[in-house]
């Protein structure tokens, strides 16, 4: 169980403060920069809420709020603690609202058998307070990517099946009870992946006499991804569906690739938008699958739909900074809950970080934020000295990380890779408070610096390249680091992320 002493506050923190994207006049920027895959969006009166995949980071399923679909700020998380039945892989959340209750249908890996199934949680609020109701859909070796559709008062839930079986993937559906908490009747097939190239992330719209099934085809994730959005239509929800001859309707361009897995939402002037993810070709390792907005149009009477990426050139601040001047942990912080149980206390402008780790965690505690560029500087000041290693980290996983820290009277540059924890460079630390800086440039080349008092920054060792940072379904994280026993702690006076 997580032992965070001060749970994430629901501060209205502007997501734009996280980043500085370098833009040209024609550039199309993400609307929620940084790793925010498989987004689902819901409109409540004139306000929008979006949540997305959090994979192995806790808290689970971050929630963002917007009044215009372009400027978003984080307000909370769906789950501060992992639901009892889950062990990881928090993917593809899907919003729905019945009456005054918000529903979140989500994918997670079940603790008892390590299989991914679909759960459901409810709340009176869209961005916090969710109560989990356990597994809703257990089917085969894997059931993921829920989507709920109301067809003339009858609720249906659809999902992807057979992704881990030796048979074609199918998009399946079932009736959903009026309270949204149970499936009813027999399953039915919407569409089958006869070509075996992948199919998931479906959304359904009805227009005039047709049901339009939008879905993502190809490999979702990683540097070899191939995602694109296809569409099919039928005169009945259960099909048969006719594939559009001009598929895909949303695909890669010079700046973005592997776009897909989204949901539709109405705009303020009668238009319809599709909130989905995509990889920035330049910075995809660090920024992951970012949330993008595309406009939906229709091609004449009884015509097929088209999707066009909506322009978004919002100017944003260049720095995220936390001076720890509140008693609660700001809600942009996350950690790898599978391998670490962090303990955090904030007192009089100082963050105290400690905790325990699993036996296979070679890195230690990493309290992190989402990167929004592949070129950045992170800095902090370490106040205390003890036997623990404490400082800055770029964290891919418990077995893939790099950082710089203070340990006793030494400053050390370290790396975890290939099941080894290596000290790359070590020098004598100056007395007193020591400031640290880790600078990352294109190509995943990092440099490490320290500063004593008001003196100039001095580099520690040589530049280091770390090739194994990318994880299949998520981007690395950047932040504060602690490796030591539970009785000691690290004390930090601030943290800053500045994009270069």
Three-class DSSP category at 217: strand
* Domain end (from 309, 328, 345): 309
Name the H helices within 268-331. 284-287
Same domain, 372 and 253: no
Assess if residue 5 is contained within a domain.
Answer: no
pLDDT digits (tens, 9 = 90+) for 15-60: 333 333 333 334 578 999 999 999 999 999 999 999 999 999 999 9
Domain extent at residue 477: 319-499
Tokens representing residue 435 in the block: 């400031």
Q: Where are the beta strands (DSSP E) in 267-318?
A: 272-280, 289-298, 305-309
pLDDT in the model for residue 443: 82
**Which tokens belong to 211?**
């049901």
Same domain, 276 and 339: no
- Name the one residue in this structure whose structure tokens are 């049901």: 211
My answer on whether 379 and 253 are in the same domain is: no
Structure confidence by residue, pLDDT tens digits, 147-169: 999 999 999 999 999 999 989 99
Residues 145 and 284 in one domain: yes
Distance set, CA 492 to CA 162, 301, 481 (Å): 48, 62, 10
Q: Are residues 200 and 335 in the same domain?
A: no
- Residue 147 φ/ψ region, left for φ over 0, alpha for ψ in the -120 to 50 degree band, beta for the rest: beta
Domain harbouring 59, CATH code: 2.115.10.20
Q: What is the largest CA-CA distance in the chain?
A: 75
Q: What pLDDT is recorded for position 312?
A: 80
Last residue of one domain, picked from the residues 280, 309, 338: 309
CATH number of the CATH domain containing 386: 2.60.120.200
Q: Does 239 share its domain with 114?
A: yes
- Rounded Cα distance between 14 and 313, Å, is 16
The answer to whether residues 351 and 234 belong to one domain is no
Q: Are residues 417 and 361 in the same domain?
A: yes
Together in a domain, 221 and 244: yes
Domain count, the chain: 2
**Number of other CB atoms surrounding residue 324 within 10 Å:** 20
Residue 428 inside a domain? The answer is yes
Domain identity same for 404 and 343: yes
For the question of whether the overall pTM of this predicted structure is more than 0.95, the answer is no
- 165 within domain boundaries: yes
Question: What pLDDT does residue 27 have?
Answer: 53
Asked if 330 and 478 sit in the same domain, the reply is yes
CA atoms of 404 and 423, how far apart (whole Å):
10
Q: Tell me, yes or no, whether 188 lies in a domain.
A: yes
**Residues 406-442: tens digit of each pLDDT:** 999 999 999 999 889 999 999 999 999 999 999 999 8
Same domain flag for 243 and 329: no
Q: What is the DSSP string of 464-476?
A: EE-----BTTB--
Over the stretch 349-375, which tens digit does the pLDDT of each residue have?
999 999 999 999 999 999 999 999 999
Could you say which of 309, 337, 369 is where a domain stops?
A: 309
């Amino acid at each position: 169980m997580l032992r965070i002493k001060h749970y994430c506050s629901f501060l209205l923190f502007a997501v734009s403060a996280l980043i500085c994207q370098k833009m040209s006049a024609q550039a199309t920027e993400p609307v929620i920069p940084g790793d925010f895959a498989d987004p689902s969006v819901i409109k409540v009166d004139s306000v929008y809420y979006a949540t997305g995949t959090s994979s192995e980071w806790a808290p689970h399923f971050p929630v963002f709020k917007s009044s215009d679909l372009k400027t978003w700020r984080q307000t909370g998380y769906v789950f501060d603690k992992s639901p009892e039945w889950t062990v990881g892989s928090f993917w593809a959340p899907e919003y729905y609202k019945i009456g005054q209750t918000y529903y979140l249908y989500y994918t997670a890996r079940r603790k008892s058998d390590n299989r991914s199934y679909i759960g459901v949680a409810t709340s009176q609020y869209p961005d916090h307070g969710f109560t989990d109701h356990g597994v809703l859909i257990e089917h085969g070796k894997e059931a993921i990517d829920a989507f709920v559709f109301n067809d003339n008062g009858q609720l249906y839930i659809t999902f992807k099946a057979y992704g881990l079986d030796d048979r074609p993937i199918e998009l399946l559906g079932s009736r959903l009870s009026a309270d949204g908490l149970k499936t009813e009747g027999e399953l039915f097939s919407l569409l089958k992946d006869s070509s075996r190239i992948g199919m998931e992330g479906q959304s359904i719209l009805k227009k005039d006499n047709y049901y339009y099934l939008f879905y993502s085809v190809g490999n979702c994730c990683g540097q070899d991804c191939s995602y694109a959005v296809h569409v099919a239509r039928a005169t009945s929800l259960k099909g048969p569906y006719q594939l559009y001859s001009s598929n895909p309707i949303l695909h890669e361009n010079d700046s973005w690739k592997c776009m897909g897995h989204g949901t539709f939402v109405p705009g303020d002037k009668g238009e319809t938008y599709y909130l989905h993810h995509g990889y920035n070709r330049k910075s995809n390792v660090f920024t992951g699958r970012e949330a993008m907005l595309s406009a939906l149009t229709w091609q004449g009477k009884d015509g097929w739909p088209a999707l066009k990426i909506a322009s978004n050139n919002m100017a944003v601040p260049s720095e995220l900074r936390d001076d720890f001047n509140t008693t609660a942990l700001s809600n942009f912080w996350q950690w790898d809950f599978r391998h670490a149980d962090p303990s955090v206390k904030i007192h009089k402008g100082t963050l105290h970080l400690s905790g325990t780790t699993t036996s296979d965690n070679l890195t230690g505690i990493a309290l992190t934020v989402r990167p929004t560029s592949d070129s950045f500087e992170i800095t902090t000041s370490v106040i205390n000295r003890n036997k623990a290693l404490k400082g800055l980290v770029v964290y891919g996983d418990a077995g893939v990380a790099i950082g710089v820290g203070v340990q006793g009277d030494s400053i050390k540059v370290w790396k975890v890779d290939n099941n080894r924890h290596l000290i790359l460079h070590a020098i004598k630390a100056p007395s007193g408070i020591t400031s640290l800086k880790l600078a990352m440039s294109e190509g995943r080349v990092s440099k490490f610096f320290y500063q004593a008092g008001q003196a100039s920054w001095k580099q520690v060792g040589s530049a280091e390249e770390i090739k194994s940072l990318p994880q299949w379904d998520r981007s690395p994280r950047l932040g504060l680091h602690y490796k030591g026993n539970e009785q000691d702690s690290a004390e930090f006076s601030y943290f800053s992320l500045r994009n270069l």
